[in-house]
Structure 1
Amino acid sequence: MKKFAFLLILISGVSFAQDLQQHIAALKKELKSKPNVERTTQIYSDLTWDYMDVSLDSAIVYGEKALALAHKTKKHQLISQCYSNLGGVYLRKENFIKSEENYKKAIQIRTLNKDFEGVAKVKINIGNVLASKQDYVPATKYFIEAIQYFEGKNDTIVSLTKGNLGLIFFEMKNFPKAIKYLEESTDFLKKNNMQQGLCHTYLSLGDVYLDKKDTLKALNSYQISLENCKSCKDNLGISTLNQRIGAVHSAKGKSENAKKYYQISEKLLKELNSEIEQTNVMLSKSEDFIQQKKYREAYEMLLKVKKIHKEYDSDRYLLETYKKLTLVCLYQEMKDSSAYYFNKYTNLKDEKLKASVLEQTAELETKYQTAEKEKQLLQKEAETKKKTTTIIILSLLIFFLAIVGFLIYRQQRLKNVQQKQEFELQSAIVQIENQNKLQEQRLAISRDLHDNIGAQLTFIISSVENLKFGFPAMETSVKNHLTKISDFTKTTIVELRDTIWAMNANEFTFDDLSSRIYNFIEKAQSAKENTTFKFTVDDRLKNYQFSSLEGVNLYRTIQEAVNNAIKYADATEISVQVEPSRNGISIIITDNGKGFEVHAIEVGNGIVNMQKRIEEIGGIFKIQSELTKGTRVAITLNKES
């Protein structure tokens, strides 16, 4: 979830071109000279703005001091300015309730004193609060009213407010209009070298391009924004940009690069002492953990984020946090927790949707009631205007019903989307449960094979050996036959263990498969001491993964090929070489035995079975052999690693 930088209109008039620390030091030095109450109030007010980019807690302390002294001066302009300052600080801390309370007090004072320019400025900042709360309709209304007032009077404020309008259109996914307003704002700011504004508008442009999946333009905009933020020493902006750039690197799988940017962002936010801002970095880091499948770390970080946003009543970010917690719990098979957070997510989303619809409907109802009163007045003035008035009222009524119908339709559409997401989530949960049941069945079968069939085969071997030693005078042919039975049973036990090994896992890495093949080759080496065996696996394939079926079929095929070389080829050298190919892996088994004419003989069951096993897992099996030149078996498994 991104934190969008809506631009505050600075009523205090402090110049940000100065070095911030120098300005703070100068103001504190002036305080020591004990100026009068009015000047002291103004100094505290200026310090409030300066500390907004240094420490939000310190900004609040100075803001409260300024307000207390302003009331003693009884100067309305100074009092309203102090309320506006506090509104700006609380907006930065995302305490929207206190921010809106302070701005409304400021606008009330300015309205009573007919300070219309001041009213228009505060309207922009209230619009910022509403936009941050996702109340876009009233926010847009405030911005447009401010633009209309300042048009031709103050092009700078018009430009900054257009940037805020661009952000609202971005939030509503209207990218063309978002880019239009942001670029208009940027062009003006560039002409006038207003680095503070450029710091924020380029950040917003980067966010728009990132949502459009144009990462090159996004990173370019972020870099320009970062340069301007550094020039005007906007630490909050610098922190936000490092977080954004880190998120882009994380999405590209460059976790180490992302980590560096997140560390810079966290360091700056700790200096600002903004707990709510730090959670935005934590949300980005949790997404990085999820991509790395570090679900436990992501889960613990999201719990901290949830606690902070609940304290600040920040529903916008709680929605994103609940959504991530739902998925992380699902990945960890915490089904009850996943369902709990999914319910939290859907309930909060429904509450916000209902509140928005009710607010907009109430506004339209007020307009309708006003129109009714106008109708009554027109009827008293002149009977001749009755027809026209009726038409106007009917038009307003139809408009009202159309808007209400549209809101209901939109609510239903959002509910359908929510139900679809809920269905997909429930399907995923069912799939996980089915996989768990299948795994339990496989484990039960493997235990039965090991405990029952394995024990019975061991009993057969023991019985055969007892017969041989119990009857020493037994005929040689009978003893040989019993020995064959014993050897066959031992071989069957080995194959049974291989089967159990395959059943006890959903998938294998090549390391698992390699260790099995090494064991087999060691046994073959002990049986054929004059034969040299060579088995090599490319290091790049150590983490290559197979399903249990693929692992067993590859193992059996390699085993059959090596056995054939031992039994029939009279080979002195047998090689098994495993390398990566373009789309998967390549396994080559070669020997220097006597070979055979592939097309001149009838293919036996062994070769047919090898071919079927490889084709069953989507691979390609080829065998080449010539008399006196040995045999080459090639297996290709086309599967992305």
Structure 2
Amino acid sequence: MSKKILFFLLLFPFFSKAQDIQAHINSLKAELKIKPNLERTTQIYSDLTWDYMDVSLDSAIVYGEKALALAHKTKKHKLISQCYSNLGGVYLRKENFKKSEENYQKAIQIRTTNKDFEGVAKAKINIGNVFASKQEYVSATKYFIEAIQYFEGKNDTIVSLTKGNLGLIFYEMKNFPKAIKYLEESTDFLKKNNMQQGLCHTYLSLGDVYLDKKDTLKALNSYKISLENCKSCKDNLGISTLNQRIGAVHSAKGNSENAKKYYQISEKLLKELNSEIEQTNVMLSKSEDFIQQKKYREAYEMLLQVKKIHKEYHSDRYLLETYKKLTLVCLYQEMKDSSAFYFNQYASLKDEKLKASVLEQTAELETKYETAKKEKLLLQKEVESKRKTATIIILALVAFFIALVGFLIYRQLKLKNQQQQQEFQLKSAIAQIETQNKLHEQRLAISRDLHDNIGAQLTFIISSVENLKFGFPGIEEKVKTHLSKISDFTQTTIVELRDTIWAMNTNEFKFEDLSSRIYNFIEKAQSVRENIRFQFVIDDNVKEAKFSSLEGINLYRTIQEAVNNAMKYADADAITVHVLREIETIKIEIKDNGKGFDADETDYGNGLYNMKKRIEEIGGTFQLHSEISKGTTVTVMLTHKNW
């Protein structure tokens, strides 16, 4: 089940937010009509940005940009930093982490310059939420703890909400006891102070923790309390998320009808918020419901939509989960090549994230090391110029290097742990390759058995039929005709068997290998129908294109079926097979000048249906165009990473 974790944002209007958002929005817009001064107009746009975060994220961005532009004209540093924080919160909701972090960093920079330390601490909580959403928990925890240290004894409300965020981080790291501890501490404070918006989120998070602990009763109870509080403060994002969660619980229990009702409520609210990335979380939950109902095709199509959205938004965390589900769904549908492809995408993305994390930490360590070297040189110069303070400086250096060595040891142990994880993943990959090698050996054994046993038996049948025909001269002509048909059918079966064995014995081959098979087939067709002109044209830049065995046999059978159809039904005197390359796509056309037919009024027979199914199975598109008296064209389009 997909979970969208909601961290608490701390913006200036947070604790004075109007209960009726729409009424507050209307009053602000009415005030704008009387044209207040520049500073008040800026503040109104800032408040509208905050209010629209629960109504329409796109509208929130529009008002946020207007507020920021006016804030720069006022030259009020608090107002400017507030507008940057508002935009950071909106982009965080949209999961545009890059823009969110940029805006929060600008707010921190302005507040630091103007010694607004309380504002800096609040901004640190918000930027901690960005890192937490990106699963960079060490950085997030650092910012949260710094904020708690500042507000301890100054603002218990902010301390409580930040502890709730710490609880969410421990939940993400599967440390459920600590997660429950921090979330319950936060919840107790919020209940005492009747802070419904905070309770909306803390109970939602507690429900997630209990659900992961398989305690569905406590989970549903927490979700219901959360939903009551979210409705009271009209938090549409929270209401949507809760309906998604409750629907997922019903789905897990096998109650698809109830699940569907909750998903519909969630989808309706998310459409009003104009948040594609939020809608994909509902789609992920619905795909899980389809999988449990064994509706694998519906799940597959929905997951493809989710994948497209997460790739556009660079949402790697949920993209990993989507690849994992696609791997499973393709496996259930026996789409082995697709399943392997999505598994490789999952493994590659996970490896990229790990490498990026290691590189970032290594660069940070190197920077600190170079800084330490520079500081050491400066201290040495000071020792030369100020001998009286030599003892103090030496002691300071010793303390510094002890801390540095401790830090380096800690980092080294951490990197070693990551290397061990990578080694484990490598061993898993090796095990998978060994399994694939065994499957390949089994496939070779099967192909040998087909060739040696079934092939020999079919040859024996042909020999026996020929002996019957010529061993009994007085046999009836009708019987001879039937025997000839049996012999021809068996010969055809042997040819198809050889094609299948050829495909099974090859993991990967070039189009040039496939073209030789097509040439042989067309030569045989030419010998049967001498009145038909055959033409097979293949562009030179296509010959190096690579295929899997499944792609190759499906292409060959499709071309074979299309040519056979033209020979049998079209009354054509010319058949052309043309293979060409268009950027990253291979295009195959099988064209005849026969009598054609009305494609709109003709049902697909088994042959046409099988051709279409074969091409779609390998990720291609199949098109049929025919006009009466103008002939028929079959077009196949394939796109592949190896082309």
TM-score by length of 2: 0.65
Closer/same/farther in 2, CA of residues 208 and 426 from structure 1, 3 Å limit: farther
Residues 1:418 and 2:418 aligned together: no
Residues 1:135 and 2:142 aligned together: no
Closer/same/farther in 2, CA of residues 391 and 105 from structure 1, 3 Å limit: closer
Greater CA drift, 143-152 or 171-180: 171-180
> Which AA in structure 2 matches 1:230?
K
Residues 1:407 and 2:409 aligned together: no
For each residue in 1:105-126, what CA deviation from the matched residue of structure 2 results, as whole angstroms up to 9, or x when unmatched?
1111111111111111111101
Equivalence for 1:89? 90
For each residue in 1:57-80, what CA deviation from the matched residue of structure 2 results, as whole angstroms up to 9, or x when unmatched?
111111111111112212111111
Distance 2:319 2:296 in 1: 19
> Which AA in structure 2 matches 1:409?
K
Equivalence for 1:527? none
Preserved CA contact (<8 Å) 2:19 2:234: no
Distance 1:435 1:271 in 2: 55
> Which AA in structure 1 matches 2:46?
S
How many residues in Structure 1 have an aligned counterpart in Structure 2? 454
Identity between Structure 1 and Structure 2 (%): 78
For each residue in 1:263-311, what CA deviation from the matched residue of structure 2 results, as whole angstroms up to 9, or x when unmatched?
1111110111110000011111111111222111111111111111111
Closer/same/farther in 2, CA of residues 251 and 430 from structure 1, 3 Å limit: farther
Equivalence for 1:193? 194
Preserved CA contact (<8 Å) 1:71 1:79: yes
Distance 1:419 1:39 in 2: 60
Equivalence for 1:271? 272
How far residue 225 of structure 1 moved from its aligned partner, in angstroms, is 0.8
How far residue 401 of structure 1 moved from its aligned partner, in angstroms, is 3.7
Equivalence for 1:180? 181
How far residue 12 of structure 1 moved from its aligned partner, in angstroms, is 3.0
Distance 1:193 1:147 in 2: 21
For each residue in 1:385-431, what CA deviation from the matched residue of structure 2 results, as whole angstroms up to 9, or x when unmatched?
57745653553354234223322332233224434654676688789
For each residue in 1:500-555, what CA deviation from the matched residue of structure 2 results, as whole angstroms up to 9, or x when unmatched?
xxxxxxxxxxxxxxxxxxxxxxxxxxxxxxxxxxxxxxxxxxxxxxxxxxxxxxxx
Preserved CA contact (<8 Å) 2:164 2:182: yes
Distance 1:443 1:286 in 2: 41
Greater CA drift, 119-128 or 393-402: 393-402
Closer/same/farther in 2, CA of residues 13 and 181 from structure 1, 3 Å limit: closer
Distance 1:30 1:82 in 2: 19
Equivalence for 1:112? 113
> Which AA in structure 1 matches 2:122?
K
Distance 2:432 2:63 in 1: 49
Preserved CA contact (<8 Å) 1:357 1:407: no
Closer/same/farther in 2, CA of residues 123 and 26 from structure 1, 3 Å limit: same
Distance 1:435 1:89 in 2: 56
Structure 2: gaps of 5 or more residues: 465-643
Closer/same/farther in 2, CA of residues 402 and 14 from structure 1, 3 Å limit: closer
Closer/same/farther in 2, CA of residues 199 and 429 from structure 1, 3 Å limit: farther
Closer/same/farther in 2, CA of residues 377 and 209 from structure 1, 3 Å limit: same
2:13 counterpart SS class: coil
How far residue 54 of structure 1 moved from its aligned partner, in angstroms, is 0.7
Preserved CA contact (<8 Å) 2:18 2:24: no
Distance 1:167 1:252 in 2: 25
Greater CA drift, 285-294 or 55-64: 285-294
Residues 1:344 and 2:384 aligned together: no
How far residue 168 of structure 1 moved from its aligned partner, in angstroms, is 1.0
How far residue 371 of structure 1 moved from its aligned partner, in angstroms, is 4.4
> Which AA in structure 1 matches 2:411?
V
Equivalence for 2:236? 235
Structure 1: gaps of 5 or more residues: 457-641
Matched ranges for 1:212-227 at <5 A: 212-227=213-228
> Which AA in structure 2 matches 1:34?
K
1:190 counterpart SS class: helix
1:18 counterpart SS class: coil
Preserved CA contact (<8 Å) 1:14 1:46: no
Equivalence for 1:74? 75
How far residue 251 of structure 1 moved from its aligned partner, in angstroms, is 1.7
Distance 1:14 1:150 in 2: 16
For each residue in 1:311-363, what CA deviation from the matched residue of structure 2 results, as whole angstroms up to 9, or x when unmatched?
11111111111111122122222222222221211111111112222223333
How far residue 259 of structure 1 moved from its aligned partner, in angstroms, is 1.3
Distance 1:137 1:357 in 2: 13
Preserved CA contact (<8 Å) 2:95 2:315: yes
TM-score by length of 1: 0.65
Equivalence for 2:38? 37
For each residue in 1:217-267, what CA deviation from the matched residue of structure 2 results, as whole angstroms up to 9, or x when unmatched?
111111111111011110100111111111112222222221111111111
Equivalence for 1:285? 286
Closer/same/farther in 2, CA of residues 145 and 14 from structure 1, 3 Å limit: closer
Distance 1:287 1:97 in 2: 30
Residues 1:125 and 2:132 aligned together: no
How far residue 210 of structure 1 moved from its aligned partner, in angstroms, is 1.4
Equivalence for 1:502? none
> Which AA in structure 1 matches 2:78?
Q
Distance 2:295 2:81 in 1: 50
Runs of 4+ residues deviating >6 angstroms: 423-449
Equivalence for 1:307? 308
Equivalence for 1:250? 251
> Which AA in structure 2 matches 1:404?
R
2:130 counterpart SS class: helix
Equivalence for 1:612? none
How far residue 42 of structure 1 moved from its aligned partner, in angstroms, is 1.0
> Which AA in structure 2 matches 1:177?
K
> Which AA in structure 1 matches 2:419?
Q
Preserved CA contact (<8 Å) 1:368 1:396: no
Distance 1:41 1:386 in 2: 52
Preserved CA contact (<8 Å) 1:246 1:261: yes
Matched ranges for 1:149-548 at <5 A: 149-373=150-374, 375-376=376-377, 380=383, 382-384=389-391, 388=395, 391-419=398-426, 422=429
Closer/same/farther in 2, CA of residues 322 and 42 from structure 1, 3 Å limit: same
Closer/same/farther in 2, CA of residues 112 and 140 from structure 1, 3 Å limit: same
